[in-house]
Structure 1
Amino acid sequence: MQDNLYDEMYQLEEKHWWFKSKRKIILELINQELSGTENEILDCGCGCGCLLKYLKIYGNVKGIDYSARALAYSKKNFDGDLVQSDLLKKVELPDESVDLAIALDVIEHLEDDELGLKNIRRVLKTNGKLLVTVPAFKQLWSYHDVEHMHKRRYTIKQLERVLKKSGYSIAYISYYNFWLFLPIYVARKIKNKINDCESDASMPSPFVNFLLEKIFSTETFLCRHRVKMPVGVSIIAIVNKIIENRN
């Protein structure tokens, strides 16, 4: 991701409708998956670290990111362990040491998404879980994907395929950002047509920001009850580490 986008992210993460709604959904699912306060949690691609501070109630949290600029911002949000690391190389953590790994809008940046997922899998405990989100549908490709240096957008079948090849079983997978799919699809098609390069993350008016947050946030209920939405701007999945037969 281009360095200047971390500047934008740091300014928007606490107040922009997309970040706030996504965070509500993620935290709701994590709350269902984790019990107690002694879990080992790894945020893979922690960005500017906004989520890290919310995760501290669940246990010991570590953040890793490829970008030094992102980690500099993370230090402003989070006082825990932060490491600069490349998911295409061995993550500098012991084998089977993590209860929950999180990779939010990360693996679409990797040349080899399967390798990145396998490197995460190595550090997961026997009963470890991974929560992952990715952008959906090649038809939604726009300047947003270009400036964020995405390698691909996924369908559920494509994401399921790479997750299973990487050694995971699927507990829950769904498209999300369902209600806003059609307007976002139309908006991106128009922007592509007129060659509009304005960032998708620009801050809307307070009323629009409030309205979009309320609409997107209703999907917290759907994800809580593991409803599988038929389309969406993104995909969300919770997967379990498959234990290899060592006999």
Structure 2
Amino acid sequence: MEIEYEKKYHEVERDNWWFVSRRKFLLDALKNVPKDSIILDIGCSSGIFLKELASIGFKMEQLYGIDISEKAIENCKNNGLQNVFVMDAQNITLTEKFDIIVASDCLEHLQDDTKAIKNWCDLLQIGGVIYVFVPAFQSLWSSHDEVNMHFRRYTSTELKVILQKEKLTILKSSYWNFFLFIPLYIFRKIDAVLSGNKKKEGHIIDGAMTNIILLKLLLLENWLLKFVNFPFGVSTFCIAKKK
């Protein structure tokens, strides 16, 4: 991720609709998990998700995070987290075995995603569960992906296949951010034409009223995902178990 964009990312990640709604989805998914579970957040950024896990009863000493960014881990430590490390997500060298692993918008940053998934699977306890979110559909590729230093975007099937290669059992698979897919697709195609050879910039949609509206929309999607799977979306995710 480019330095200036990372700075903006850290400024908005606590309150921005995208990050808040995804954290709420994960917190809801984990609310009934035993509170003594050992949890790893891959690509933990400033550690906001780990702090929120602690706030609902998970033991701080059993919450771990890794990030490739030294600034992100510095922010984590400033936020009171201790088990956080600067580390390459393709080669996590922690000795612990985890009950839960979360990787939100991380896999697409890694050149060798197969190697990364194998490494993550090795870190899971038998019976452990992994939650993986990634950007969806190569047709949505834009300057936003380039600024974020993505290698690829995924279909739901592609993400499932890479997890199943490691003998993980898929518990749930769906797209996410379904309602915004078509407007975002149109916006990115128009932007690609208009931007031409201009300097590539990432897009963070913000503004107070926009933030409220989009947050409510994604919270509605989170609720609907308890009953349905969406056929397309801006992101896709898998929840998989090691047996």
- The TM-score normalised by the length of structure 2 is 0.92
Deviation at 1:80, TM superposition (A): 2.9
TM-fit CA distance, 1:161: 1.1
| Partner-residue secondary structure (3-state), 1:52 | helix
- Listed as ranges, the matches of 1:143-162 within 5 Å are 143-162=143-162
Q: Offset at 1:43?
A: 0.5
Give 1:21's aligned residue.
21
Counterpart secondary structure, 2:27: helix
Q: What secondary structure, in the 3-state scheme, does the structure 1 residue paired with 2:38 have? A: strand
Partners of 1:203 and 1:151 in 2: how far apart?
25
Deviation for aligned residue 1:193: 1.1
Percent identical residues = 35
Structure 1 residue identity aligned to 2:230: M
Aligned 8 A contact 2:145 2:202 in 1: no
Shift of 1:87: 2.2
Q: How many residues align?
A: 236
Is 1:236 aligned to residue 237 of structure 2?
yes
CA offset at residue 202 of structure 1? 4.6
- Please say if 1:110 is aligned against 2:113: no
Moved more, 67-76 or 153-162: 67-76
Answer yes or no: is the 8 Å Cα contact 1:16–1:203 preserved in 2: yes
Q: CA RMSD in A?
A: 1.6
Taking the aligned partners of 1:3 and 1:70, their CA distance within structure 2 comes to 12
Deviation track 1:122-157 (CA, whole Å, cap 9, x = no partner) reads 111111010010000000000010000000000011
Distance 1:199 1:6 in 2: 10
The letter of the residue matching 1:12 is V
Paired position in structure 1 for 2:212? 210
Distance 1:5 1:30, change over 3 A: farther
Equivalent in the alignment of 1:41? 39
Residue 69 of structure 1, aligned match among 44, 68, 71:
71
Between the aligned partners of 2:167 and 2:151, the Cα distance in structure 1 is 22
2:179 paired with 1:176: no
Structure 1 residue runs of 5 or longer lacking an equivalent are 243-247
**Paired position in structure 1 for 2:2:** 2
Q: TM-score, normalised by structure 1?
A: 0.90
The alpha carbon displacement at 1:6 in A equals 2.6
Structure 2 unmatched ranges of 5 or more: none
SS state at 1:58 partner: coil
Question: Contact 1:121–1:167 (CA<8 Å) still a contact in 2?
Answer: no
After superposition, residues 73-112 of structure 1 pair within 5 angstroms as 73-94=75-96, 97-112=97-112
Structure-1 separation of matches of 2:108 and 2:139 = 15
